[in-house]
A and B are shown apart, each in its own frame.
Chain A
Amino acid sequence: MFPTPVEKLGPRARIGYQALLPLALIMWLLPLLAVAVFSIRPETDFATGNYWGWPSSFDALSNYALVFTGSDMPRYLMNSVLITVPTVIGAVALSAMTGFALGIYQFRGNVLIFFMFVAGNFVPFQILMVPVRDLTLQLGLYDTKMGLVLFHIAFQTGFCTLFMRNFIRALPRELIEAARVEGISELRIFWYVVLPLMKPALAALSVLIFTFIWNDYFWAIVLTQGADSQPVTAGITSFNAQYRAAYHLMSAGSLVAALPPVLMFFAMQKHFIAGLTLGAVK
């Protein structure tokens, strides 16, 4: 254990440490706490310049209610869900298969294909932007959720393949050999032997991809335009334009837009962290 556990340093150090923790946390989250405080202030506080004094009233309920009733926010949130969930399913399904193929079989070009997925995953978005936008236009999918979903699935398959393949590599090979000796077909091995063992990887990737896609902004503004299809990251700018200078509402709106991945993280923390560390740091 490094550094030395505070318990070993005596009660003074422990109490000091435990007092320091909340202070450090408040410092760390200060900009966010400031926005949270804004979001519960009434409009009059901003008119009178009472930015940092005691709020003249606590309007959290009406501010947040207005976010949901007075704007397109619910639609943007719904769009985000309808973009994120199919992407997660699609990317995880595709990469479970590619990861299986690359992790289990030895054939010529295996490493090459694997490296193609890994390298593609790291390219800057801008090198894809014009051709992907053009392709989406030609398919008639510009400004549709489907257009975004198809691209996201394809791109995330790169990262997911890296993860799945490494995960499958670490599974005990004897299981697969034993199944083969039994005469079980390769398709059944995938479905009945490997897939059940991959549950932790599937969970980790699902929460991770959910967060990545929910938070995507670049492709949202490149491939979509209006409230019919834009996710909440892009919608928040329209929201802010609608409520220009109404900082209590903009703050509340931003927090609402940011919330779903945060909830997802707190609910699935263990899987999330396993995914983030690429399984490389145990």
Chain B
Amino acid sequence: MSDHSNISGAPGFWYRNQRRLAPALFLAPGILFFSIYVIIPIFQSFNLSLYEWDGLGAAEYVGLRNYEELYWDEAFYTSLRNNVIWLVLYLLAIPGGLFIALFLNQTVTGIRIYKSLFFFPFVISQVVVGLVFTWFYDPTFGLLNAMLAWVGLGPINVLGNEHTVTYGIILAGLWPQTAYCMILYLTGLNAVDPEQVEAGRLDGAKGWKMLWYVVLPQLRPATFIAFVVTIIGALRSFDMISVMTQGGPFGESRVLAYYMFEVALSEYGFRMGYGAAIAVVLFLIMLVYIGFFLAKMYRDERGG
């Protein structure tokens, strides 16, 4: 008797409560992984930034001393300045991508393969993009200087000069990023309402006016995503700096992401606490954009 009630009771419980239990069940593995590897480490880094730690021995509590040191650290300001330059110049990928997308938004034969070929720099790893541009800029055999020589200029050493190095790396970074923005706009242009464009034509709108008043407003979702991915890409810049210059010459091409790595994990020393303090600053900068993005998403959720 009791056996019977158990057998029918167990599925009964599940059936009665599955709408409440199922989401917890489905979420558990994802939340577990994400908490262990992403959420908790954020707090650990905040905590660690209050310690002096070489990664092996005992950590020593130093309060805000790491931040105080940061305040007097010139390399920190160089990195911060370069981060701002990255952020501003990287945004050129958005108009650049729009320009190429408008150029390619035609229906001649073979256009699809052109679109793919224009896009594919984005698929290449940034390490290889970095190498490709390092050789492109090379003062002895690089194509850039070969071309400058044909018109009687140069040679210039883009990556060896402390005044040009950051711009040289950003230009290399803009290459895949522009391709990304281009594909966002190409997809967006597909959805532009042809009737509105026709109506605009009848009203005499042409060229710039058409673009500004009729087309661009309809591309707003693409523009928004382009902004998000470009800003995040700019603040994440690490691979290319590591491959092209290792922060040099004289540390002039460092950004916060690279400087943090250098402080915490390279031959310059294993200062985990100081590195964590740099990471916290970078995180707080990023948090402004994350907050902005989440607020926009929240409004869309409410609206939709």
What string of 1s and 0s marks CB contacts (under 8 Å) between B119-135 and chain A? 11101111110011101
Given A17-B106, A250-B131, decide whether A215 and B126 contact each other with a Cβ distance below 8 A: yes
Q: Is the CB of A281 within 8 A of B133?
A: no
* Min CB gap B144→A, angstroms: 8
* Residues in chain B near residue A254, CB distance under 8 A: 128, 131-132
Give the segment of B1-9, B28-36, B63-71, B154-162 that binds chain A.
B28-36
Give the distance in Å from the alpha carbon of A29 to the alpha carbon of B119 in the complex: 10
* Min CB gap B87→A, angstroms: 13
Give the distance in Å from the alpha carbon of A67 to the alpha carbon of B204 in the complex: 60
In B102-144, which residues have CB < 8 Å from any A CB? Answer: 102-103, 105-108, 110-111, 114, 116-121, 123-128, 131-133, 135-136, 141, 143
* Residues in chain B near residue A185, CB distance under 8 A: 14-15, 18
Q: Is the CB of B260 within 8 A of A269?
A: no
In A1-19, which residues have CB < 8 Å from any B CB? Answer: 1-3, 5-7, 14, 17-18
A107 in complex: contacting residue of B20, B38, B210, B221, CB < 8 Å: B20
B127 in complex: contacting residue of A24, A125, A215, CB < 8 Å: A215
* Residues in chain A near residue B128, CB distance under 8 A: 236, 254-255, 257-258
- 29 pairs of residues in contact across A and B, judged by CB atoms under 8 Å: A1-B192, A17-B106, A30-B143, A34-B143, A49-B141, A100-B26, A101-B27, A102-B23, A111-B298, A113-B31, A119-B294, A123-B42, A126-B256, A127-B41, A127-B42, A135-B36, A135-B37, A153-B33, A186-B22, A215-B126, A217-B239, A247-B141, A258-B128, A261-B124, A261-B125, A266-B116, A276-B184, A277-B225, A281-B187
Give the segment of A56-64, A154-162, A198-206 that binds chain B.
A154-162
Give the distance in Å from the alpha carbon of A238 to the alpha carbon of B118 in the complex: 30
B286 interface residue (CB < 8 Å to A): yes
Which residue numbers of B lie inside 8 Å of A, CB to CB? 14-15, 18-20, 22-27, 29-31, 33-34, 36-42, 44-45, 48, 55, 100, 102-103, 105-108, 110-111, 114, 116-121, 123-128, 131-133, 135-136, 141, 143, 146, 175, 180, 183-184, 187-192, 194, 197, 210-211, 214-215, 221-222, 224-225, 232, 235-236, 238-239, 242-243, 256-257, 260-261, 264-265, 272, 275-276, 278-280, 282-283, 286, 289-290, 293-294, 297-298, 301
Q: Is the CB of A120 within 8 A of B34?
A: yes
* Residues in chain A near residue B286, CB distance under 8 A: 122-124
* Min CB gap A177→B, angstroms: 12
Q: Is the CB of B39 within 8 A of A95?
A: no
* Residues in chain B near residue A237, CB distance under 8 A: 127, 243
* Residues in chain A near residue B133, CB distance under 8 A: 31
Given A129-B275, A132-B37, decide whether A95 and B30 contact each other with a Cβ distance below 8 A: yes
Give the distance in Å from the alpha carbon of A127 to the alpha carbon of B44 in the complex: 9
Given A2-B189, A158-B38, A266-B116, decide whether A124 and B235 contact each other with a Cβ distance below 8 A: yes
Kindly list the 9 A-B residue pairs having the minimum CB-CB distance in the complex, ordered from nearest: A154-B37, A215-B125, A131-B41, A98-B30, A101-B26, A186-B22, A131-B44, A154-B33, A126-B279
Q: Is the CB of A281 within 8 A of B221?
A: yes
Q: Is the CB of B102 within 8 A of A123?
A: no
Given A6-B106, A129-B265, A258-B128, decide whether A124 and B26 contact each other with a Cβ distance below 8 A: no
Closest to B20 in A: A107
* Residues in chain A near residue B106, CB distance under 8 A: 5-6, 17
What string of 1s and 0s marks CB contacts (under 8 Å) between A146-167 and chain B? 0000110111011001000000
Closest to A124 in B: B282
* Residues in chain A near residue B187, CB distance under 8 A: 273, 277, 281-282
Give the distance in Å from the alpha carbon of A52 to the alpha carbon of B276 in the complex: 46
Closest to A130 in B: B272
* Residues in chain B near residue A102, CB distance under 8 A: 23, 27
In A205-224, which residues have CB < 8 Å from any B CB? Answer: 211, 214-215, 217-218, 221-222
Q: Is the CB of A32 within 8 A of B135?
A: no
A94 in complex: contacting residue of B30, B131, B191, B256, CB < 8 Å: B30
